[in-house]
Chains A and B, each alone.
Chain A
Amino acid sequence: MLFDKFQTMAGFQAELAERKVEPFGAVTEKILSATEGLVQGRNVILAGTNNYLGLSFDPRCIKAAQDAAARWGTGTTGSRLANGSFTEHQALETEVAQFYGVDHAIVFSTGYTATMGMCATLAGPGDVILLDADSHASIYSGVKLSGAEIIRYKHNNPEDLAKRLRRLGDRASQTLIIAEGIYSMLGDVAPLQEIAAVKREYGGYLFLDEAHSMGVLGETGRGAAQAAGVEADVDFFAGTFSKSLGAVGGFCVSSHPELEAIRFCISAYIFTASSSPSIIASTREALRIVTAEPQLRERLWKNAHRLYDGLKALGLPVGPTASPVVAVEMEDRSRTIDCWEALMEAGVYVNLVIPPASPSTNFLLRNSVSAAHTSAQMDTIIAAYASLKTAGLITSTQAA
C-alpha cells in the first residue's frame, strides 16, 4: 500500500529498461571539457548542462578551488550557524551583494535550498503568496512549507497577477509576489516591466529567481530585472551558483536590512552543512569573471540565437523567443524518447523532460547553450535535429 503511488513511475522505468534507454540520470564517465563528455559510453556534445558561460572548466576557477581545498580542507563539516562560516563564505556574501548593488546577502549550499528556504520563510500563516503557475519545483516546495495562503497566477501574465491582487483588497500590499527571470524549461523571459508596474499599483513584495538569467541577461549580468530596468522594484533576488558560475550553491540578496534577521529563521540555511570552501572559492572567481568579461555573454547569446534560429528553420516548435534554453515540445512520450536516443547516437546530449517537470502535458527535448560551444559543435547539434526529421522521428505534426 505504501508503495502503490510509485507504481506508475516503476512502470515507466521498466519501459525504459526494456528499451535499453537511460535518459534520466545518464551517467557521465568522463568530462572532456565544458561542452564535451563521455556519457553512457559515447563521446557527446553536452547540450543540456546549464553551463551557460562554460566556467566549470575555467582554469582560474579550478585553481581557486584547488588552493582553497589546500588551505581550508575539503569541507566545513557544519552549518553556517555553528562552525561552518569561514571567511570565504562571508567574502562571497559581500561580493554577491556588491554585484547586485545591495547591502545584504545570504549564501546557501544549493540553489534549491536558496529559493525553497526563502519562499518557506518570507511569508507565513496569515500572509498571501502569489506565484507564477510555471514556477520551479523549489518554489512550490517552499511555499507549501510556509503556511501562507498560496495562489497561482497564469504564467507570465501580468493582467492575471493584477486581477488576483485586486481580489485581495487590503491584503495585496502584504503579498509576496514570486516570478523567475528566465523560466528553466522553455527559456521564456518574464515580462518584468509589466509585473513591476502591477506591483507598484497594488503593493506587495517581489521575489525574483534569477537562477537561469544571472550571468546571462543585463548589462553587467545581474539578470532579467537589470535587462528590464526594474531592479528597484525587486525586493529579493535569488539565484544559483550552479549554472552560469559553474559550481554549486545559491544566494538571496536584498536591500532590506531585515534579511539579516530572516537569515536566522531559514531552516534550509540553519540545518544543513555550508558549502565546501573550494566551491565558494571557485564561485568567487567565476563571479569576478562574469563582471570582467562581458564577452562571455555575447558569445552565449550568439550561440543561443544560432541554435534557436537553426531549430526554428527546421520547423520545430521552439518557444516564443531566442534564449540560452531552447526546448523542442513534443506530444508523444515514446517518440520523444526515440528522438532523445537518436540525438545521443548522433553525439548530442540534451535533457529529456516529462510532465509534470514540463509546464504542460507536452514532453521536451531541452537544450541549453553555452558560451563555450564552438561553431562546429553548434553545427553538429543542429544537424542532429535535422537528422531526426530525415529519419521521420520528428515532424511538425508530431511535435506540439
Chain B
Amino acid sequence: MTDYQEYLEFLYSAVETQNKKHIELSESTSLVADLGLSSLEVMEFIEKIEDHFDISIPLNILPDVNTIGDLATKVRELNL
C-alpha cells in the first residue's frame, strides 16, 4: 500500500506538464482555480493517473475533487 504522500508526489509530477502558470504545487492547489485546467485537461490528467496505478477513476468522484490533495485521497482509496 502506498502512503498518501507518495500519491501526492506522483500527482505533482504527473500534472507538471499541465502547470502552464508554473505555480508552486501543494496539496491545496486547485486543479481548476489555480492550475486553470479545462475539463478536457482534467480528464487527461485523470487518464495518466489511471494508467500509472492500473485503476479506473469513476467520474462520480470528480464533484468532490477540487485540489490535488482531494485527488490523492480519492486515488488512495480506490487503490486500497
Residues of A within 8 A of B (CB): 133, 143, 149-152, 154, 163-164, 167-168, 355-356, 360-361
Contact = CB atoms under 8 A, between A and B. Distances in A.
Interface residues of B, number: 12
A152 B46 CA distance: 10
Interface of B: 38-40, 43, 47, 54-60
A164 to B, nearest CB: 5
B39 A356 contact: yes
Nearest to B40: A361
A356 B40 contact: yes
A180 B7 CA distance: 35
Given A355-B38, A356-B39, A361-B40, A152 B59 contact: yes
Q: Identify whether the interface residues of A are mostly helix, strand, loop, or mixed.
A: mixed
Given A149-B58, A154-B47, 13 more contacts: A150-B59, A151-B57, A152-B59, A164-B56, A167-B54, A167-B55, A167-B56, A355-B38, A355-B40, A356-B38, A356-B39, A360-B40, A361-B38
Nearest to A128: B58
A50 B3 CA distance: 52
A164 B38 CA distance: 24
20 contacts: A133-B43, A143-B59, A149-B58, A149-B60, A150-B58, A151-B56, A151-B57, A151-B59, A152-B43, A154-B47, A163-B54, A164-B56, A167-B54, A167-B55, A355-B38, A355-B40, A356-B38, A356-B39, A356-B40, A360-B40
Contacts of A163: 54
A361 B40 CA distance: 7
Contacts of A168: 56
B60 A150 contact: yes
Nearest to B62: A150
A183 to B, nearest CB: 16
Contacts of A360: 40
A172 B13 CA distance: 32
